[in-house]
């Protein structure tokens, strides 16, 4: 019996050492240790032994089995390693081929800029207001202190509809509609489409603006400067220089053009900024008392500011677009870059 | 408005160089839009003396010169003939770069050395043509002086973009006044030295204002015995610098004074004025008159005309008449200086399409108190340049004189609104620098009377603006408002619009923005019937072009045009969408409705990349899938897809309307082949249209979220033969009709036609997943439930099981 065991052991270890495939090793396991395996058969023979010999041989059987088992485990381990190594040797893909991806969609740059500006002003406590694009002369001009026949109307070439309706030339009528609807405090921005009867490389008959309005009890021109500085720094970068210079709009006084340090040349002077180092990005000012009169606000006890900017211009500066017409040609080769 | 540095400097003695002056003007609100530096970079072009001139040995037409530039004597070859030894000339030395990027280099011309070039006016950009080189007055300047300096031509021309309120700055003096006020220095007003003859003006000419409303002031002077001749060079050059062509000495003076003082003037040939009379009146309706530009104009009663005893001689404030203009033979002049009502001039100029320097100033408003000063200044200059005798005492009809009252001004209000803290004295000093007259009121406020030329200053706020402007916007500290919180969440409308845009982009779609206006026949291309409301678009009264003359009633044509244009550029696979307003007239209301619409167009191949996935063309279900995701996202309930009452631009067999309950919220489908052709599209295009306003209303905001089941599922398949006409949705509806909570999912996983399926039938395979939320389902339960479903299908829909 002992001899048989020794023989079995050495035979098994030899067979294990000679086998390199996982399948062969598993066969060996079944042949030796399986239900009908050789070692299992031997173990069944233990019963025929003397009661005295039984535990000794039993121990021996166990140790043989353990030895075979551990040899099998480590052989299997290395066989499996070999299998993996072999796979890694042969399995190859061309990773330079393009990936399988979902088609990318894009928002129009005008939408992107409107969303960005709205979210900056949302952070400053402004909510969004809207108004009609086909507008009354009264909201678009008169209530904003453009009397009929006033030369300031020449600043805005207007598309007319009929019955004193027109295509709004700016988003400013939303100021009037908002103030007629609510009493101060007011803090709104109004993005929207506007129209001017003008078309060339820098003018489009349709474009977009964002209007801002804040009216409260003690708002100052300095506050306007503060809000616009925060805004331009968030939109164009923390260190963007901002400059306000006197200008004129019928519905604000004092009025200002707001320039930022040229984002193209950094203020040194280039073609885009006409060598001035500054880029005009928005118009602003303190709401004119005449406007308050039209919406029945008490100009003595409240004050506020308004500002407006062209979205296309900001998009062009942000993305380095040189021709405004590109924004409305809707060529997907252009749009898919955003 | 064009001004020059040297000219401004005659009025204010500032120290700023041209760049500094440009910055100063811009920060005063007088924006310098461009500047041109004359003679800039031409310092190597200098005054020089021809010490010796002899024939070039190898060329008949050239001469060899020895030219002294003050430091050395150089050899220069020259081709011009109009000079001699001893002449003072202009030498462009080596290294100089002349206009047109012409660089002067040392060179050999026909074997002779030449170290520079003698220049003509043309070569220096001073004239269009020139006959020969410039020969200067001897001793004009030391040799070696830059010629632009020697000729006094070194100057900077500023183009200033004026805002419409600053009519006072439509003159050199106006801009000079602002500079003087800003820098707190004195302004030198131009001098007027009148030498008058014995004859009284009103003895020779008469002035009658018949319409003082439109002409509140009219002043005139009479000069006799003058001689019309070309203007002296200084005057020609001064006008040329600001872009005005010289005509003759008298007309040039009127233009010069207009630019200098902002008062338009007009000179009549007095001998051609019938009766030597001026009558200012409204034109008669239909009266004709020929203006200086030789255009005959038909006038209306709203036009103001200047007449002599018989007929109009000028369209007031806009342009003079051909019948009384100054000619070479003119010897006596009636000089007009007047104030006309701005709105009237504006209307006349607009009606006749005649925008002149004169009308530009009158319609913005001139200084009514400066009318006579400008008249006198021009008269004295005319006498100086054209000779003649000035009659004594100007005629000055001023029936419209208005007493101006001071504005009540509170300096502390200025501080409060601007957000600064200036001393009361500093604030009032700014106003007095602006030539305001200031008095103290008993209540502590000030009475401020602005100068007559500042017609834009009428209210306290106008004065506050002047304080902010003169003190400097750069000196205002940037602060954050101390304000009550008013912000609320974005409205549902805006929130949903943004989310839908995100969703469509995530579906791989590209957003486009087309113009809101379109061509009148856009609706016709969609085969819309004549009574379709989308045929009735709002028309623009003054469109730029016919293709942009009506407001859109549907976004689809624009999107299809965009699709076609992109395909022309070989972008074949397109998924485009647009979220914009349309403009729909409303019965009985003047304001139209402007609802927001969503449209999409998809064409080309799905998402094939050519190597790993086949390039399959997109179809109806790609577009329907997008719409389904969108409706699912908004949680719009009760959706059904119906094929009746389709819009005519859809393919009748491959399109449907989308209903939410009974309400139509949009449509989806393949474009009708004829419409496809109308838009020159070669391949099928699949579209969807959704009514944004309805979606917002139907979108459910509250969702109840259930926990998933933790028990095992069991799936059963049913394959059946059904008639081709049977809509698949009937099968899924029939299955769901058992209303069992244990039916977790019903999925159509195969639709098959072909081998084994008879003609007129299709095979549909459905997988049903059974699962309970509260327990493990017993096999018997599932079998029973499945049997019930199968029986239903067979009984109600007569399907044949396979
Ligand atoms: Zn720049």
Instruction: Quick: pLDDT tens for A219-263.
Output: 999 999 999 999 999 999 888 889 999 999 999 999 999 999 998
The answer to whether residue B615 scores a pLDDT higher than 60 is yes
Q: Which CATH architecture has domain B492-698?
A: 2-Layer Sandwich (3.30)
**Which chain B residue's Cα is nearest to A125?**
B487
- Note whether B402 contacts A: Cβ–Cβ < 8 A: no
Give the domain B407-471 fold. Phenylalanyl-tRNA Synthetase; Chain B, domain 1 (3.30.56)
Q: How confident is the model at residue B126 (pLDDT cuts 50, 70, 90)?
A: confident
Q: What is the DSSP string of B656-702?
A: EEEEETTEEEEEEEEEPHHHHHHTT--S-EEEEEEEHHHHHHH----
> What CATH code would you report for A109-335?
3.30.930.10
Q: Which CATH class is domain B714-801?
A: alpha beta
Please say whether the beta carbons of B675 and B654 come within 8 A.
Answer: no
The fraction of chain B above a pLDDT of 90, given in percent, is 79
Mutate to test the interface with B, among A332, A334, A337 (most CBs of B within 10 A): A332
SS3 call for B148? helix
Beta-sheet pairing, B45-55 with B196-200? unpaired
The answer to whether residue B445 scores a pLDDT higher than 90 is yes
CA distance, residue A181 to nearest chain B CA (Å):
14
Q: Give the C-alpha distances (Å, rounded to integers) separating B725 from B653, B719, B722, B797.
A: 12, 17, 8, 12
- Note whether A233 contacts B: Cβ–Cβ < 8 A: no
SS3 call for A78? helix
Number of helices and strands (H, E) in chain B? 21, 44
pLDDT value for B487? 53
Both structure tokens of A147: 């009397």
Task: Give the residue range(s) of CATH 3.30.930.10 domains in chain B.
Answer: 492-698
Contacts of B33 in chain A (CB under 8 A): 274
Contacts of B480 in chain A (CB under 8 A): 223, 226-227, 230
Q: How confident is the model at residue B702 (pLDDT cuts 50, 70, 90)?
A: confident
Ranking A2-11, A46-55, A277-286, B350-359 by mean pLDDT, the lowest is A46-55
pLDDT value for A163? 77
Contacts of A328 in chain B (CB under 8 A): 513-515
Please say whether the beta carbons of B190 and B262 come within 8 A.
Answer: no
Q: Which CATH architecture has domain B45-153?
A: Beta Barrel (2.40)
pLDDT value for B486? 61
pLDDT value for B345? 94
Query: Cα–Cα distance between B321 and B266 in angstroms, integer?
Result: 10
- pLDDT per position as a tens digit, B67-97: 999 999 999 999 888 998 999 999 999 988 8
Q: How confident is the model at residue B153 (pLDDT cuts 50, 70, 90)?
A: confident
Closest Cβ–Cβ partner in A132, A163, A214 for B481: A214
Contacts of B562 in chain A (CB under 8 A): 330
Query: Cα–Cα distance between B414 and B409 in angstroms, integer?
Result: 9
Please say whether the beta carbons of A45 and A61 come within 8 A.
Answer: no
Query: Cα–Cα distance between A122 and A110 in angstroms, integer?
Result: 18
Both structure tokens of B315: 């369209």
Residue bearing the bigger pLDDT, A61 or B676: B676
b/e A4-41 (16+ beta carbons within 10 angstroms → b): ebeebbeebbebbeebeeeeebeebbeebbeeebebee
pLDDT value for A216? 94
Q: How confident is the model at residue A165 (pLDDT cuts 50, 70, 90)?
A: very high
- Note whether A334 contacts B: Cβ–Cβ < 8 A: no
- Kindly determine whether residue B464 and residue A254, on different chains, have CB atoms separated by under 8 Å: yes
The answer to whether residue B678 scores a pLDDT higher than 60 is yes
Superfamily in which the B196-397 domain is placed by CATH: Phenylalanyl-trna Synthetase, Chain B, domain 3 (3.50.40.10)
pLDDT value for B682? 93
Contacts of B464 in chain A (CB under 8 A): 253-254
Closest CA to A22 of A76, A95, A100, A86: A76
For B802, residues 6+ apart whose C-beta sits below 8 A from its C-beta are B719, B720, B721, B763
DSSP letter, residue B539: B
> How many whole angstroms from its chain centre is CA A244?
32
Closest CA to B373 of B263, B515, B463, B526: B263
Query: Cα–Cα distance between B474 and B470 in angstroms, integer?
Result: 10
Task: Give the residue range(s) of CATH 3.30.70.380 domains in chain B.
Answer: 714-801
Query: Cα–Cα distance between B177 and B186 in angstroms, integer?
Result: 9
ipTM of predicted assembly, 2 dp: 0.86
CB atoms within 10 A of CB B496: 19
Query: Cα–Cα distance between B612 and B375 in angstroms, integer?
Result: 87
SS3 call for A18? helix
Its sign, for the CA torsion B47, B53, B56, B61, is positive
CA distance, residue B536 to nearest chain A CA (Å):
14
Average pLDDT score, chain B: 93
* Angle made by CA atoms B506, B512, B516, in degrees to the nearest 5: 140
Q: What is the DSSP string of B158-179?
A: EEEE--TT-GGGSSHHHHHHHH
The answer to whether residue B182 scores a pLDDT higher than 60 is yes
For B446, residues 6+ apart whose C-beta sits below 8 A from its C-beta are B408, B409, B410, B411, B428, B431, B438, B439, B440
Ranking A161-165, B255-259, B422-426 by mean pLDDT, the lowest is A161-165
Residue B669, sorted as left (phi over 0), alpha (psi -120 to 50) or beta, turns out to be left
Please say whether the beta carbons of A174 and A129 come within 8 A.
Answer: yes
Q: Which CATH class is domain B2-39+156-183?
A: alpha beta
Query: Cα–Cα distance between B399 and B233 in angstroms, integer?
Result: 40
The answer to whether residue A67 scores a pLDDT higher than 60 is yes
Please say whether the beta carbons of B333 and B391 come within 8 A.
Answer: no
* Angle made by CA atoms B361, B363, B365, in degrees to the nearest 5: 65
Please say whether the beta carbons of B751 and B761 come within 8 A.
Answer: no
Residue bearing the bigger pLDDT, A140 or B701: A140
CA distance, residue B649 to nearest chain A CA (Å):
23
- Kindly determine whether residue B501 and residue A111, on different chains, have CB atoms separated by under 8 Å: yes
Q: How confident is the model at residue B490 (pLDDT cuts 50, 70, 90)?
A: low
SS3 call for B511? strand
Please say whether the beta carbons of B771 and B782 come within 8 A.
Answer: no
Contacts of A337 in chain B (CB under 8 A): none
- Kindly determine whether residue A220 and residue B468, on different chains, have CB atoms separated by under 8 Å: no
- CB contact residues (below 8 A), chain A span 124-143, against chain B: 125-128, 130, 132-134, 136
């Amino acid at each position: 019996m002992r001899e048989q065991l020794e023989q079995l052991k050495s035979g098994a270890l030899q067979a294990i050492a000679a086998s390199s495939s996982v399948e062969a090793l598993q066969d060996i396991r079944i042949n030796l240790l399986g239900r009908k395996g050789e070692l299992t058969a031997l173990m069944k023979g233990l019963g025929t032994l003397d009661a005295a010999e039984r535990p000794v041989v039993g121990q021996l059987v166990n140790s043989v089995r353990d030895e075979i088992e551990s040899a099998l485990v480590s052989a299997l381990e290395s066989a499996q390693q070999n299998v993996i190594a072999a796979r890694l040797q042969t399995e190859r893909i061309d990773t330079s081929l393009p990936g399988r991806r979902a088609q990318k969609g894009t928002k129009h740059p005008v939408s992107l800029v409107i969303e960005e500006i709205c979210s900056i002003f949302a952070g400053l406590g402004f909510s969004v207001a809207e108004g009609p694009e086909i507008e009354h002369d009264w909201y678009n001009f008169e209530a904003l202190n453009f009397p009929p026949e006033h030369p300031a109307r020449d600043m805005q070439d207007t598309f007319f509809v009929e019955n004193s309706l027109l295509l709004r030339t700016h988003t400013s009528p939303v100021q009037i509609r908002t103030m007629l609807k609510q009493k101060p405090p007011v803090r709104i921005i109004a993005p929207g489409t506007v129209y001017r009867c003008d078309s060339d490389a820098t003018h489009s008959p349709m474009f977009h603006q964002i209007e801002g309005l804040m009216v409260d009890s003690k708002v100052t021109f300095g506050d306007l400067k503060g809000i616009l500085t925060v805004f331009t720094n968030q939109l164009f970068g923390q260190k963007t220089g901002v400059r306000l210079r006197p200008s004129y709009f019928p519905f604000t006084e004092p009025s200002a053009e707001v320039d930022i340090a040229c984002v193209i040349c950094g203020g040194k002077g280039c073609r885009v900024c006409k060598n001035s180092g500054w880029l005009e990005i928005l118009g602003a000012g303190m709401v004119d008392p005449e406007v308050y009169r039209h919406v029945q606000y008490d100009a003595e006890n409240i004050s506020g500011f308004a500002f407006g900017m062209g979205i296309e211009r900001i998009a062009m500066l942000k993305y380095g677009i040189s021709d405004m017409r590109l924004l409305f040609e809707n060529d997907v080769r252009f749009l898919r870059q955003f | 408005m064009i001004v020059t540095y040297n000219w401004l400097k005659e009025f204010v003695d500032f120290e700023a160089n041209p760049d500094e002056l440009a910055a100063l003007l811009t920060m005063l609100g007088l924006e310098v839009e461009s500047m041109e530096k004359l003679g800039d970079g031409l310092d190597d072009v200098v005054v020089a003396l021809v010490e010796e001139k002899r024939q070039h040995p190898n060329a008949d037409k050239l001469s060899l010169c020895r030219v002294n530039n003050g430091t050395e004597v150089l050899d220069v070859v020259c081709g011009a003939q109009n000079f001699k030894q001893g002449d003072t000339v202009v030498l462009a030395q080596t290294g100089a770069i002349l206009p047109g990027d012409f660089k002067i280099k040392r060179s050999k011309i026909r074997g002779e050395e030449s170290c520079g070039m003698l220049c003509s006016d043309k070569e220096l950009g001073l004239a269009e043509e020139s006959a020969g080189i410039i020969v200067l007055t001897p001793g004009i300047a030391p040799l070696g002086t830059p010629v632009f300096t020697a000729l006094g031509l070194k100057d900077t021309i500023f183009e200033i973009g004026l805002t419409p309120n600053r009519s006072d700055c439509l003159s050199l003096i106006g801009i000079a006044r602002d500079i003087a006020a800003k820098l707190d220095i004195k302004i030198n007003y131009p001098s007027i030295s009148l030498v008058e003859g014995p004859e009284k003006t009103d003895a020779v000419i008469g002035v009658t204002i018949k319409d003082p409303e439109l002409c509140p002031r009219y002043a005139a002077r009479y000069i006799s015995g003058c001689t019309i001749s070309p203007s002296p060079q200084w005057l020609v050059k001064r006008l040329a610098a600001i872009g005005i062509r010289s005509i003759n000495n008298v007309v040039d003076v009127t233009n010069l004074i207009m630019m200098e003082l902002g008062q338009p003037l007009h000179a009549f040939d007095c001998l051609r004025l019938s009766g030597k009379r001026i009558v200012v009146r409204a034109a008669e309706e239909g009266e004709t008159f020929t203006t200086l530009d030789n255009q005959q104009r038909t006038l209306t009663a709203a036009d103001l005309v200047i007449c002599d005893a018989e007929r109009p001689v000028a369209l007031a404030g806009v342009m003079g008449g051909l019948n009384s203009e100054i000619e070479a033979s003119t010897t006596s002049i009636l000089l007009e200086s007047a104030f006309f009502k701005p709105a009237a001039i504006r209307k006349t100029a607009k009606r006749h399409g005649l925008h002149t320097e004169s009308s530009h100033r009158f319609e913005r408003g001139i200084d009514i108190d400066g009318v006579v000063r400008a008249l006198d200044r021009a008269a004295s200059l005319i006498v100086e340049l054209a000779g003649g005798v000035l009659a004594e005492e100007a005629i000055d009809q001023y029936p419209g004189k208005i007493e101006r009252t001071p504005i009540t001004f509170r300096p502390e209000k200025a501080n409060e609104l601007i957000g600064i803290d200036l001393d009361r004295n500093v604030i009032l000093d700014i106003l007095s620098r602006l030539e305001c007259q200031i008095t103290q009121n008993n209540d502590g406020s000030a009475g401020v009377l602005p100068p007559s030329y500042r017609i834009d200053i009428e209210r306290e706020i106008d004065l506050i603006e002047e304080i902010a402007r003169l003190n400097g916007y750069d000196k205002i500290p940037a602060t954050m408002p101390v304000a009550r919180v008013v912000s609320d969440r974005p409205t549902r409308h805006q929130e949903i619009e943004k989310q839908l845009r995100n969703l469509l982009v995530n579906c791989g779609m590209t957003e486009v923005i087309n113009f809101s206006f379109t061509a009148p026949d856009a609706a016709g291309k969609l085969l819309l019937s004549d009574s379709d409301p989308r045929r009735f678009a709002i028309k623009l009264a003054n469109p730029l072009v016919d293709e942009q003359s009506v407001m859109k009633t549907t976004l689809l044509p624009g999107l299809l045009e965009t699709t076609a244009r992109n395909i022309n550029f070989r972008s074949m696979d397109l998924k485009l969408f647009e979220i914009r307003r349309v403009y729909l007239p409303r019965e009985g209301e003047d304001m139209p409705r402007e609802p927001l619409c969503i449209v999409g167009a998809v064409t080309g191949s799905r998402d094939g990349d050519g190597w790993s996935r086949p390039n399959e063309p997109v179809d109806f279900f790609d577009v329907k899938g997008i719409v389904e995701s969108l409706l699912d996202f908004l949680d719009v309930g009760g959706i059904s897809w119906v094929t009746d009452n389709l819009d005519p631009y859809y393919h009748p067999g491959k399109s449907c309307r989308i209903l939410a309950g009974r309400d139509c919220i949009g449509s989806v489908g393949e474009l009708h082949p004829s419409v496809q052709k109308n838009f020159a599209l070669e391949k099928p295009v699949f579209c969807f249209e959704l009514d944004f306003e309805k979606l917002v209303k139907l979108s459910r905001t509250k969702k109840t979220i259930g926990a998933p089941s933790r028990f095992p599922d069991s799936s059963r398949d049913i394959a059946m033969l059904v008639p081709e006409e049977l809509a698949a949705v009937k099968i899924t509806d029939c299955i769901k009709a058992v209303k069992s909570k244990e039916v977790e999912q019903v999925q159509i996983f195969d639709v098959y036609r072909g081998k084994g399926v008879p003609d007129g039938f299709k095979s549909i395979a459905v997988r049903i997943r059974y699962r309970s939320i509260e327990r493990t389902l017993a096999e018997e339960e599932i079998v029973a439930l499945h049997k019930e479903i199968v029986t239903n299908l067979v009984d109600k829909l007569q399907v044949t099981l396979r």
